[in-house]
Amino acid sequence: MAITGEHEVATTAELRLSEADPSDYFALLKPRVMSLVIFSAFVGLMVAPGSIHPFLAVVSVMCIAVGAGASGALNMWYDSDIDAVMKRTAKRPIPTGRVTPSDALGFGLVLSGFSVVTLGLLVNWLSAGLLAFTIFFYTVIYTMYLKRRTPQNIVIGGAAGAFPPMIGWACVTGSVSLDSFLLFLIIFLWTPPHFWALALFAQRDYHNAGVPMMPNVVGVESTKWQIFAYTLLTAVVGVLPFFTGLAGPVYAVLATGLGIGFIIHAYRVLRMSPSDERMQPAKSLFKFSLIYLFALFGSLLIDRLVTLGMSV
């Protein structure tokens, strides 16, 4: 606070005169995470039995995407202290000072409200309820509670990322079912190998930030075995949609191939030497896990389109 004569004049910084661009607010939505949310929600919507008007389908996916983005903004608001000390996140809008934490909080809350209410009014209230729960789960349960307390943070918190296909399904059917739960389960089981692969080669970063990721708490060897176990489970559950009748043989073949690829990558991590500081197998697993999930849900989509094509 500067003092000129008898008047107290706030400095520019105190007035919080923002130089934030719209792109900074867009970055708060975690666009890369959003792309997976959009795709998995779209697939959930496409493979669900029943039909929905194409425009309402677009509205549904948009609301789910904005809701997920809102959770991203709320996460960045709460975690800005951690983000500032981690190499991967230090350039986010809050640590760099381009957006203030309170602006990010307001932005996240407004978008949460808009996305849930719009989905409820235009599509149905079950999907809106699931979206609201997802935002609550990611922000309060994962970000505020689990993340800094337990190495099981991303295991339990993974549920938040697994909900979008279930919400997409609920947008069409107005209900949840075993098949929509399977789509949830695939992403839920995929999350630990994906994030622990990252946690292996970003161990120092997580240590500096004080986040109790699995390798920092139980060690690298135990984490490698847990990655392998979850990868096996993901590969098996990934094929189940064929056995419940949700998908056909095209999907079964693709899902089996992808599952084997995922297991091979996890096995290479398991065999990784303790002296390997570059951790190339972990980096490869991290990249392949992303390809796996996109390709698996893409296979579901292809399978559905093939089935639709054959029935015409």
Minimum gap (Å) between residue 33 Cβ and another protein: 20
CB atoms within 10 A of CB 206: 22
Q: How far is CA 93 from CA 30, 80, 103, in A?
A: 11, 9, 11
Minimum gap (Å) between residue 89 Cβ and another protein: 23
Q: How far apart, in whole angstroms, are the C-alpha atoms of residue 99 and residue 80?
A: 11
Applying CB under 8 A, the residues found at the interface with another protein are 7, 9, 12, 15, 17-22, 25, 53, 55-56, 59, 118, 122
State which residue, 18 or 35, has the beta carbon closest to another protein.
18
State which residue, 54 or 245, has the beta carbon closest to another protein.
54
Q: What residues does 9 pair with on adjacent strands?
A: 2
Q: How far apart, in whole angstroms, are the C-alpha atoms of residue 24 and residue 11?
A: 23
Q: How far apart, in whole angstroms, are the C-alpha atoms of residue 35 and residue 42?
A: 11
Name the H helices within 147-219. 153-173, 178-201, 203-209, 214-218
Strands 7-9 and 2-4: antiparallel
Minimum gap (Å) between residue 17 Cβ and another protein: 5
State which residue, 110 or 178, has the beta carbon closest to another protein.
110
Minimum gap (Å) between residue 168 Cβ and another protein: 17
State which residue, 20 or 229, has the beta carbon closest to another protein.
20
State which residue, 114 or 181, has the beta carbon closest to another protein.
114
Could you give phi then psi for residue 305, rounded to 5 degrees? Answer: -65, -40
Minimum gap (Å) between residue 122 Cβ and another protein: 5
State which residue, 94 or 202, has the beta carbon closest to another protein.
94
Q: How far apart, in whole angstroms, are the C-alpha atoms of residue 64 and residue 136?
A: 14
Minimum gap (Å) between residue 62 Cβ and another protein: 8
